[in-house]
Amino acid sequence: MTLKANDKPEERAKPASDNRHAGKKGDPCEFISPPNLLLAKVTHDPNLKKIVNLTKSNFKVEKKQLVKMNALIAESQTRCIKAMNSKIVQVEETYRDLRNRKKPPASELIKRVQDIHNAAKVLDHTPVMRISTSLLKYLRNLSSETAYAPDILVAHLDALFNRNALDLKLDAPTKMVLSALETLVEHAMTTQKKKA
């Protein structure tokens, strides 16, 4: 006679009432709702650690505070956008020089583009971040201060000046523009390495 896995004497001796899942159909999973530790941390109220569901608690959201916070966030965002736009406007002089075939030193351009990149990062403005990252990558890998191709810089600056046409959520046309600029930089860097 052979024993099956569930024919152990100790398992046979257990009554069905001791088994939590006895008589239940379906998956015998137990769902656990952990306490809302993040809510307790944000509100600085240790009693909220015990709350699992806000709808069942006596915690009330202060609507006036919420309105003030939203206004503050909107105001800060507006200030950041103005700061980024003013930094982009500062590059217009360099843009005109490049159009007229003058070559300002790369170190000067790096500083200005880095400022734009930092402002875009704070705003989480992905198109401007990717444009400035691509341009910084190109400028930082130059063999000399004026060894850059003005057309590559002009293409990036054109994209920056037309940033309102780019979609923050990166729709297909925006992705194509950003990918084209990044490909342009990769190609230029590869060509530059081959010449060296």
Please give the tally of structural domains in the chain: 1
Q: Write down the pLDDT at residue 186.
A: 92
- Residue 51 falls inside a structural domain: no
What radius of gyration, in Å, describes the C-alpha atoms of the chain? 30
- Residue 40 falls inside a structural domain: no
Distance CA 196, CA 186 (A): 16
- Residue 14 falls inside a structural domain: no
Q: Write down the pLDDT at residue 57.
A: 58
132 burial type by CB count under 10 A (0-12 exposed, 13-18 middle, 19+ buried): buried
Rounded to the nearest 10 degrees, the angle between the axes of helix 126-140 and helix 106-123 is: 160
The average pLDDT across 158-185 equals 87
- Residue 109 falls inside a structural domain: yes
- Residue 170 falls inside a structural domain: yes
Contact assessment for residue 178 and residue 127, using Cβ atoms and an 8 Å cutoff: yes
119 burial type by CB count under 10 A (0-12 exposed, 13-18 middle, 19+ buried): buried
Distance CA 38, CA 29 (A): 26
pLDDT in tens, 44-88: 666 666 655 555 556 666 788 888 889 988 888 888 888 888 888
Half-sphere exposure of 139 (CA within 13 A, CB side): 23
- Residue 3 falls inside a structural domain: no
Contacts for 26 with CB less than 8 Å, ≥ 6 apart: none
- Residue 99 falls inside a structural domain: yes
Distances from the Cα of 152 to the Cα of 30, 65, 85, angstroms: 59, 48, 21
Higher pLDDT residue, 188 or 166? 188
- pLDDT range class, residue 142, cuts 50, 70, 90: confident
pLDDT in tens, 147-171: 888 889 989 999 998 888 777 788 8
Half-sphere exposure of 165 (CA within 13 A, CB side): 9
- Residue 102 falls inside a structural domain: yes
Q: Write down the pLDDT at residue 58.
A: 62
Q: How many helices (H) and strands (E) does the chain have?
A: 8, 0
Instruction: For residue 78, give its domain range.
Output: 63-195
Distances from the Cα of 99 to the Cα of 41, 92, 115, angstroms: 54, 10, 22
- Tell whether pTM > 0.85: no
Q: Write down the pLDDT at residue 1.
A: 45
